[in-house]
Copies of this chain bind each other. A is one copy, B any other.
Amino acid sequence: MTVTETERTKTFISPNVANGIEEYRPRRSWRTWLIGRPLATADAPHQTIGKAIGLAVFASDALSSVAYGPQEMMLILAAAGVLALGYAFPLSLVIVGLLIILTLSYEQTIHAYPGGGGAYIVARDNLGELPAQTAGAALLTDYILTVSVSISSGVAQIVSAFPALAPWRVSIAVGMVLLVMLVNLRGVKESGITFAIPTYFFLMLMYLTVGVGLFRLVTGSLGPVVDPPHLELPEVLHPISLLLLLRAFSNGTTALTGVEAISNGITAFREPRSRNAGITLVWMAVILGSLLVGITFLAGHIGAIPSEHETIISQLARTALGGRNVLYLIVLGATTLILIMAANTAFADFPRLAALHAGDGFLPRQFTYRGSRLVFSRGIVVLGLIASGLITLFNASVTLLIPLYAIGVFLSFTLSQAGMARRWWKIGHLQPGEEVKEPGSTLRFERGWQWKMAINSLGAVCTCIVMLVFAITKFRDGAWIILVLVPLLVSGFFAIHRHYCSLARSLSLEAYGTPPLVRRHRVVIPIGGVHRGSLAALDYALSLSPDVTAVHVSIDPGESDRLRAKWERWGNGVRLVILASPYRLMLEPLLAYIERLASLRQPNEAITIVVPQFVPKRWWHNLLHTQTAVLLRLALLFRRGVVVTDVPYQVE
């Protein structure tokens, strides 16, 4: 015993005499093995990164979308027959145009918010609480879908290379999500280089594939795809209509998801932050645009067929690189890896955004809690579970998940750009030299604000149009889910906020007079029998107050008489009330009695129910006893002035 006590005491370092505060250090447990040793709050890293690493850290989400964007675009076109696939290339050019507008818009955000310009912050500062919460809700759902879509697409690449694995799609995907979750629970301190390797590896191989493909095209040695997957045509071919093109375009815009990542993470960059982040954004846009156009062009040229069985990347790689060889496998491996990195990005963003919401009181405060590894562990776990659930529900199919995906992103794009436009408007109306401080940035008059406002307004209008097109053309395919979910989430956020606000008001000590102090104490002790347990509780009850009443619910009158006799001997003179229960109810008569006492309670009187509770040696023994204390506590929780105490009696 003494040893254990010493052990226990050891967990406290000797009190620091200076401030009289003791420090607690946790002991090792199974979690240490799983997620690593606990980190103290003071261990939080403050490292910053350069442009090359920054690109690797923040661009994986955007860049990886070339693995599914063109494919999903072609899948829609295919409904109008093979010839319609030719529209993919011009559509990809339109998407690149949109990318240029977005990049220009976000360049301005990056310079305006050097402290991090996520849609939530920009909308909150410039548009107000409702747009901010809407942007937040849209982004949170979007991060969940980033994980589901990226991992599902990663599994699609694996299955393209090893078709025998097809039946285990869902299991592989869920396993990957849980793995990424675990890695994130450990915390990704070693981020920089671990991000750089797979990202640059992927870029190298992707450019190699596209480059070889173009070279062979020019030299005339690039043939069509050998043995392409079967094109699943509808019974009646759709005509090539505007609606069809818009639907294909919508799918293609999913390639732009993740463009906002750099503006969220500006603080991670080395000084001059905004400049470095801005340059990185341009790099990223150039790479993304070129790969998008290149892949779509080549895929069209070789006659690649969009299919659930083999990805476009796989068809392109084996056609350009000469069959299912080692290089082909490496390309698919790198693609899978970058898709996993994209999911990993969401695992960094979602918990951070959830913590931001929670800190503002719009999500449960628990999301602000940093786990033993200094990461927002609850957000990570919630994301992992929801994303796994979605993957299971949608059978790890990218095509089924896509209609849910891009609305959230484009909604947050719109709100963020509209916020920026509003900000320029405010800046334009400042006096030169005047400064206005806002939580996220400082407003200062700038020349040419009209141009800047125009750029952000263009961004807002374009992304808004894309969002509407997406919502309308994809409504029946699943977009309705998001259109229902986001308002629900937003109203949930506000309900949570109202709760925290009203709680803060009702707990506030402002205007706190002197409430009636507890001057009398009435104690009720329910007893089932007279034994050591109930006598221990009686002893405790008598130490609280001299006004103790024992209450017994009687089902069997004969047994009550015996109990009364026993009580006369052992009951220490305490008053015994017997409640007859001819209908054999145990809890209800007790509750009715307590309710009656409570209704007679005076303001300065406390009523304490002292419940004797056995604590058996083994957990399953609890099944052999009625848990009166638990039930009483639940039933009396809402009764003002009534406190339930259970006095544990440890059975030897």
- A residues lining the B interface (CB < 8 Å): 5, 8-9, 11-12, 20-26, 38-42, 364-366, 369-372, 496, 499-500, 502-503, 506-509, 512, 515, 517-519, 521, 529-533, 535-536, 539-540, 542-544, 553-555, 560, 566, 570, 577-585, 588-589, 592-593, 595-596, 599, 606, 608, 614-616, 618, 621, 623-626, 633, 637-640, 642-648, 650-652
Residue contact B646 to A588, C-beta cutoff 8 Å: no
Complex Cα spacing A39 to B584, Å: 9
Residue contact B580 to A24, C-beta cutoff 8 Å: yes
Known: A24-B589, A499-B621, A509-B532. 11 other contacts (CB 8 A): A8-B599, A365-B625, A371-B584, A496-B624, A502-B651, A512-B532, A512-B535, A521-B543, A633-B646, A642-B648, A643-B647
A-B contact pairs, 5 of them (CB 8 A): A24-B582, A26-B583, A521-B543, A639-B648, A644-B646
List, in ascending order, chain B residues with CB within 8 A of A507's CB: 529, 531-533, 651
Residue contact A624 to B506, C-beta cutoff 8 Å: no
Residue contact B643 to A645, C-beta cutoff 8 Å: yes
Q: Taking each of A21, A519, A553, which has the highest tally of chain B beta carbons within 10 Å of its own beta carbon?
A: A21
Complex Cα spacing A503 to B608, Å: 27
Residue contact A500 to B540, C-beta cutoff 8 Å: no
List, in ascending order, chain B residues with CB within 8 A of A578's CB: 20-22
Complex Cα spacing A648 to B638, Å: 8
List, in ascending order, chain B residues with CB within 8 A of A23's CB: 579-582
Residue contact B585 to A41, C-beta cutoff 8 Å: no
**Of B21, B509, B642, B648, which is within 8 A of A570 by CB?**
B509
Which chain B residue shows the least CB distance to A499?
B621
Complex Cα spacing A257 to B202, Å: 73
Residue contact A583 to B646, C-beta cutoff 8 Å: no
Residue contact A638 to B615, C-beta cutoff 8 Å: yes
Residue contact B540 to A41, C-beta cutoff 8 Å: no
Residue contact A584 to B41, C-beta cutoff 8 Å: yes
Residue contact A624 to B592, C-beta cutoff 8 Å: no
Which chain B residue shows the least CB distance to A534?
B507
Complex Cα spacing A648 to B633, Å: 10
Q: Taking each of A529, A606, A648, which has the highest tally of chain B beta carbons within 10 Å of its own beta carbon?
A: A648
**Of B12, B544, B638, B644, which is within 8 A of A544 by CB?**
B544
Residue contact B506 to A532, C-beta cutoff 8 Å: yes
Whole-angstrom distance between the Cβ of A445 and the nearest chain B Cβ: 35
Instruction: Say yes or no: A592-B12 contact (C-beta < 8 A), given A506-B651, A582-B41.
Output: yes
Residue contact A26 to B585, C-beta cutoff 8 Å: yes
Complex Cα spacing A500 to B496, Å: 47
Complex Cα spacing A21 to B643, Å: 25
Whole-angstrom distance between the Cβ of A368 and the nearest chain B Cβ: 10
List, in ascending order, chain B residues with CB within 8 A of A652's CB: 502, 506
Residue contact B539 to A40, C-beta cutoff 8 Å: no
Residue contact A592 to B651, C-beta cutoff 8 Å: no
List, in ascending order, chain B residues with CB within 8 A of A26's CB: 583, 585, 588
Instruction: Say yes or no: A364-B623 contact (C-beta < 8 A), given A554-B21, A583-B25.
Output: yes
**Of B371, B529, B583, which is within 8 A of A24 by CB?**
B583
Complex Cα spacing A507 to B535, Å: 9
Residue contact A517 to B539, C-beta cutoff 8 Å: yes
Complex Cα spacing A584 to B502, Å: 27
Which 5 pairs, one residue from A and one from B, show the smallest C-beta to C-beta distance?
Answer: A24-B589, A507-B531, A518-B543, A40-B582, A645-B645
List, in ascending order, chain B residues with CB within 8 A of A584's CB: 41, 369-372
List, in ascending order, chain B residues with CB within 8 A of A644's CB: 645-646
Whole-angstrom distance between the Cβ of A360 and the nearest chain B Cβ: 14
Residue contact B579 to A24, C-beta cutoff 8 Å: yes
Residue contact B583 to A372, C-beta cutoff 8 Å: yes
Complex Cα spacing A23 to B554, Å: 9
List, in ascending order, chain B residues with CB within 8 A of A42's CB: 582
Whole-angstrom distance between the Cβ of A385 and the nearest chain B Cβ: 15
Complex Cα spacing A640 to B642, Å: 25
Complex Cα spacing A8 to B530, Å: 29
Whole-angstrom distance between the Cβ of A521 and the nearest chain B Cβ: 6
Residue contact A606 to B532, C-beta cutoff 8 Å: no
Q: Taking each of A500, A608, A614, A645, which has the highest tally of chain B beta carbons within 10 Å of its own beta carbon?
A: A645
Complex Cα spacing A599 to B40, Å: 28
List, in ascending order, chain B residues with CB within 8 A of A593's CB: 12, 22
List, in ascending order, chain B residues with CB within 8 A of A22's CB: 577-580, 593
Complex Cα spacing A614 to B8, Å: 30
Whole-angstrom distance between the Cβ of A564 and the nearest chain B Cβ: 10
Complex Cα spacing A643 to B5, Å: 19
